[in-house]
Chains A and B, each alone.
Chain A
Amino acid sequence: MAKGIWVFVEQRDGKVRKVTYELLSEGRKIVDNFGGELAAVLVGSNVSDMAASFGEYGADKVYVVDRPELANYTTDGYSNVLAELIKKYEPAVVLLGCTLGGRDLSAMVAQKVNTGLLTDCTDMYLEDGNLVFVRPIYAGKALTKVCCLDTSPIMATIRPNVFAVSEPQAGRAAEVIKEDVPPGDIRQIIKEVVMQISTRPELTEANVVVSGGRGLKGPEGFALLEQLADVLGAAIGASRAAVDAGWIPHSLQVGQTGKTVSPVLYIACGISGAIQHLAGMSSSKCIVAINKDPEANIFKVADYGIVGDLFDVVPILTEELKKVLAS
């Protein structure tokens, strides 16, 4: 790890995604054991003030590129900047969160710096002096251990929620290195940004996901789930059947052709448990299923199941949780 590990800071309007801290925490452990330094790479506009704070999460250095053209994320702008920094400093390892943004940026940068990329990894560790990664393939139906072949840097995106965030060390400072890298020709012109105005956590990062399927019978069914999700601070997810029926936006679909989630708790309501749905959620730590069909496939993977009508069970569950969590 002679030239160290870099973690790309994913932020929007100065708000940093949790996965960034997860990667800094894990990166810190690796450099502590095997030497080298840990750096955060912060790209954006008006972001310099927050740079030093990454020291508290383990970064030794923070490389900052702060320019007005970088106020919005664009594939061209951010990939040009990150690729230039990599060429200049030649880090051994570059890590990003496997979010939509991380996927977009990492692939473009990997090609620009002519290296390999391992996406959506769920583990990383040193083995015989080499950094190896584990990634699910076939939507989690198999896993593979992968490495990079003498190419530099080693680039990977890591799925949110697989590494824990270490306790920040108040006052620990990082050396801030300002770089003025021109973003080049930005061909993506952003016309409009629509953020979901939601107090809910992002589906792929949530600790708790409350998910609904065709059993909800309509969009009103999701209103029931919203109440349950409110109590748990959960994100809402859905099966494809609910999405196809138009009850909920496609961006909330969980599964092989939807999002992959790895929450601590996944509550599936009125979902049969088709293989394509399981592919997106079976790495959840604890699965609860509520379904009126005792033969439903979802019960084969659920840690706890209630056979019953969700329209009876969910409101009672919401009330019970409210009571218990208040106490």
Chain B
Amino acid sequence: MKIVVCLKQVFDTEAKITLDASGQINKQGVTLIINPYDEYSVEEALRLKEKYKGEVTVITVGSDEAQSALRQALAMGADKAVLVNPGDIELDEYATSIILAKAISTLEYDLVFGGYMAIDDGSSQVAARVADLLGLPLVNTVTKLEVADGKAVATHDIDGGSEVVEVPLPAMITSQVGLNEPRYPSMKGIMQAKKKPMTKLSLADLGLDASQVKPKVKPLSYFLPSPRQAGRIIPGEPAEAVAELVKALREEAKVI
């Protein structure tokens, strides 16, 4: 079974977000990690590979820095990595998807994984766009996956519940919390990762030019939310404190 995992490098969830002098998000000194949802995808792909044999390719659109995320996935057990470095251009979800789909179309695959969302921009649209561009059926927010006989049977979250859906392969699956517990790379895995193939591509290598990846949305400005003020600790024995709290919720905050 051949599996492709779309993987995005993102800011660490602990990262403190600041703006630089030009009002852009400050990327200096921030630790970068694999998007947590993509880690679930890598894990799921590896489990399928262990069951059925085959090959797992991880792919990212990003700068050379993103190689560390790809290496980590290789250390977990993925076989090959593809880095598409679009150079110094602005991308939106549309453009990112065009590039990803083009790159994936040069690979063989039975399944493509994406994250249900990336925790930085949180757009939750790249996987669907790639699925449409590649003509693949999509199942989002998957928490359980069984693959057999050319079909994927996925349990996935829907609003207010869950649903079991069957789609024919090849298909696009997006990972949701609960799918699995991602493994840590072993020492051996880390050593082996260094020798695994990492293909680096430019837009030109994919036969794309800048006009084909012109963004459709544009950030006009960035700003930080006004920090929440710490409120008031209500002192006293539980009964007293609770009475005071309920009064405050009613009369001051007017929320009950």
Interfacial chain B residues near A115, Cβ < 8 Å: 216
Q: Report A-chain residues with C-beta under 8 Å of the C-beta of B220.
A: 132, 144-147
- Of the A-B pairs whose beta carbons lie under 8 Å apart in the complex, a sample of 27, sorted by A's number, is A10-B159, A75-B128, A75-B138, A99-B159, A100-B141, A101-B158, A106-B125, A110-B129, A116-B92, A132-B220, A136-B122, A144-B219, A144-B223, A145-B222, A149-B216, A151-B216, A191-B164, A250-B143, A251-B157, A257-B119, A258-B177, A282-B225, A299-B233, A301-B230, A316-B242, A317-B242, A317-B245
Cα distance, A102 to B120, chains bound together (Å): 19
Q: Given the known A-B contacts A142-B25, A317-B246, are A305 and B234 also in contact in the complex, defined by CB atoms under 8 Å?
A: yes
The answer to the question of A288 belonging to the interface, with a C-beta cut-off of 8 Å to chain B, is: yes
Q: In the complex, A194→B245 CA distance in Å? A: 38
Secondary structure call for the B interface: mixed
B37 CB contacts on chain A under 8 angstroms: 257
Q: How far is the CA of A196 from the CA of B256 in the complex (A)?
A: 26
Nearest CB in chain A: distance from B40 CB, A: 10
Category for how many chain B residues contact A: 35 or more
Question: Of residues 172 to 206 in A, which have CB atoms within 8 Å of B's CB atoms?
Answer: 187-196, 202
Are B158 and A138 touching (Cβ within 8 A)?
no
Interface majority SS (helix, strand, loop, mixed), chain A? mixed
| Cβ-defined partner of B121 (8 Å) among A12, A108, A137, A309 | A137
**When A195-B161, A302-B231, A303-B231 are in contact, do A188 and B137 touch as well, CB less than 8 Å?**
yes
| Complex interface residues of chain A between 300 and 317 (CB less than 8 A to chain B) | 300-309, 312-313, 316-317
A75-B138, A117-B123, A305-B233 given; A282·B228 CB < 8 A: yes
Q: What 1/0 mask marks residues of chain B from 91 to 124 whose CB sits below 8 Å from any chain A CB?
A: 0111001000000000000000000010111111
Cβ of A316 and Cβ of B159 under 8 Å apart?
A: no
In the complex, A321→B139 CA distance in Å?
A: 42
- Per-residue CB proximity of B1-26 to A under 8 Å, as 1/0? 00000000001011111010000010
Q: Which A positions have Cβ atoms within 8 angstroms of B?
A: 10, 12, 17, 73, 75-76, 99-101, 103-104, 106-108, 110-112, 115-120, 132, 135-149, 151, 187-196, 202, 208, 232, 243, 249-251, 253, 256-258, 264-265, 275-276, 279, 282-283, 285-288, 294, 299-309, 312-313, 316-317, 320-321, 324-325
Question: Which residue from chain B places its CB closest to the CB of A282 in the assembled complex?
Answer: B228
The residues in B between 197 and 256 inclusive whose CB is less than 8 angstroms from any CB of A are 214-225, 228, 230-234, 238-239, 241-243, 245-246, 248-250, 253, 255-256
Contacts of B248 in A (CB 8 A): 304
A137 touches B36 (CB 8 A): no
**One of B56-64, B68-76, B165-173 at the interface:** B165-173
Residues of B within 8 A of A283 (CB): 225
Tell which of A17, A107, A287 touches B128, judged by Cβ atoms closer than 8 Å.
A107
Given contacts A253-B177, A317-B242, contact A148 B216 (CB under 8 A): yes
Q: Is B132 an interface residue (CB 8 A)?
A: yes
Which residues of chain B come closer than 8 Å to A104, judged between CB atoms?
128, 138, 140-141
Residue pair A75, B177 in contact (C-beta under 8 Å): no
Within the assembled complex, what's the spacing in Å between the Cα atoms of A143 and B220? 11
For the complex, is B133 an interface residue (Cβ under 8 Å from A)? yes
Separation in Å of the B59 CB from the closest CB of chain A?
Answer: 18
The complex places the Cα of A313 from the Cα of B236 at a distance, in Å, of 11
> Is B160 a contact partner of A202 (Cβ separation < 8 A)?
yes
